[in-house]
Amino acid sequence: MSFVSNLFKRNSVYVATIFGGAFVFQGFFDVAVTNWYENHNKGKLWKDIKGNLGASEDDEDDE
């Protein structure tokens, strides 16, 4: 308890810790949600189907 009370004696340290923690949490949360979304929608996203669309358009031009 002594460490925490000494660390947060000054308001500027307390606010900086909160902002730093929020910044780090935002980074981890963004990566986690993006990975979940891409795994949940695998095969439906543009990066997954853009190669298939180009090949099918070339086939239609040959007819």
Question: In total, how many domains does the chain have?
Answer: 1
Prediction pTM value: 0.63
pLDDT at 61: 55
Q: Look up the domain containing 48 and give its range.
A: 2-62
**pLDDT by residue for the chain (63 residues), tens digit each?**
677 787 778 889 889 989 999 999 999 999 999 999 999 999 899 988 888 876 665 555 555
Burial track 1-31 (b if 16+ CB lie within 10 A, e otherwise): eeeeeeeeeeeeeeeeeeeeeeeeeeeeeee
Report the CATH number that the domain containing residue 29 is assigned in CATH.
Answer: 1.20.5.260
Name the amino acid, one letter, at 55: A
Distance of CA 22 to the CA centre of its chain: 14
pLDDT at 16: 92
pLDDT at 60: 57
